[in-house]
Structure 1
Amino acid sequence: MSEADVLTVQIDSGESSLGWATLGNRRWRCTVGAGGVREDKVEGDAATPAGKFPLRHLYFRNDRLVLPKVRLPARPIDEHDGWCDDPRSTSYNRLVRIPNEWSHEKMWRDDELYDLVVVVGYNDDPPEGEWGSAIFLHLARKDYAPTRGCVAFARDDLLELVTLIGPETRLQVLSRPADEQAGSRDDDELMQQFEDFDERDW
């Protein structure tokens, strides 16, 4: 798989939800969950799961935006769409019709966050345990406030991004923040200098 098929998300630091999403030679500002990025995500922790995941399909508000040409399967959201977030349900981490007896998120929102949604293939093949649900790429608030576990983008950025991704694209969320990764590279270079040191250089 080439870099052009991997959408890589990395936060700036462990103290911030802000980060960058990179696909090929393009990148966009984004924000992740208030719980940070975790390899051991569970339902309700507001964390974005670390790992590499497929992108399933798109949902969008056709009363609020015109969807550009995309390669992922897409359909409009309607007022009876919900997403089950109750691990006790057989519909856990699935699109459901509402009203519904199980706990769920409403996909038809008053705000604009779900005007455009890309469903991430996390804990869905099949859904198991309480490892989390409703992990999406969606629109960010104006101030890029943290999400409840999703990755969020400015409207224009996500509208551009959805034209570039397809069934072959994978979302890769890195667990190590950019500032820690940079520090790790510096440490590696320092260790290499020690390994290359020769007493005869004195």
Structure 2
Amino acid sequence: MKPHNQIIVRRAPGSDPTSGLMLAGHEIYPCRLGRTGIAALKRESDGHTPRGVFPLMLGFYRADRLRPPPTALELLPIAPHDGWCDDPGHPAYNRPVDLPFAASHERMWRDDGLYDICLVLDHNISSRARNRGSAIFMHLTGSKPFTQGCIAVQKDVMLKLLPRLAPGTLVDIRA
């Protein structure tokens, strides 16, 4: 099976700003976007999914809920002490952290299943700037019809994509 070099994400035509389409090879899948849609200028907590081209870096999964899915991406098991710093003033901004953690952060170990499989996009990580957005992931859909700025897909879609993803696969988010 040939790997995907690029995945294209865009707003679904004629829909609300939180409904997207993902083109992976010759397949098109529905996806969810940030609560305020796609924007070129991403700011911390603005709800935008950032526009741009971002390589996939690695992923996380809940080993207590599923076996490691087949993929060339490095997939790390999530533990209850895993978090992600979203405090722009902290030196660990937009980095994984161990909980408890005093600064503002997201818990990676979630009850709602959103991060049962969670892939990290290189948005504001390799070249980090304060307040430009943190924790931009491709994760699973939940009960809300939007994300906080990530891309969300149904679990069956994620499981179809993973065998064809590798470090450096580009996620091209277009307006």
Q: TM-score range by the shorter chain?
A: over 0.9
Whether 1:159 and 2:159 are equivalent positions in the alignment is: yes
Higher strand share: 2
Q: Report if aligned partners of 2:68, 2:75 keep a CA contact under 8 Å in 1.
A: no
Relative contact order: is structure 1 or structure 2 higher (C-alpha 8 Å, sep ≥ 6)?
2
Larger radius of gyration: 1
- 1:4-53 deviations in whole A, cap 9, x for unaligned? 41100011146331111111112211010001100001001011000000
Alignment of 1:57-96 (within 5 A): 57-96=58-97
Whether 1:7 and 2:7 are equivalent positions in the alignment is: yes
- 1:62-117 deviations in whole A, cap 9, x for unaligned? 11112221101111000000000000111000000010111000000111101000
Q: Distance in 2 between matches of 1:63 and 1:51?
A: 34
CA-CA distance at 1:163 after TM superposition:
1.3
Whether 1:116 and 2:117 are equivalent positions in the alignment is: yes
CA-CA distance at 1:126 after TM superposition:
3.0
Unpaired stretches in structure 1, ≥5 consecutive residues: 176-202
Q: Report if aligned partners of 1:89, 1:102 keep a CA contact under 8 Å in 2.
A: yes
- Which segments of structure 1 move beyond 2 Å, counting only runs of 4 or more? 13-16
Whether 1:168 and 2:153 are equivalent positions in the alignment is: no
Partner of 2:33: 32
Q: Report if aligned partners of 1:14, 1:36 keep a CA contact under 8 Å in 2.
A: no
> Bigger CA drift: 152-161 or 11-20?
11-20
Q: Which amino acid aligns with 2:130?
A: G
Partner of 1:51: 52
Identity of aligned residues (%): 38
Give TM-score scaled by structure 2 length: 0.94
Higher helix share: 1
Q: Report if aligned partners of 2:55, 2:121 keep a CA contact under 8 Å in 1.
A: yes
Query: How many corresponding residue pairs?
Result: 172
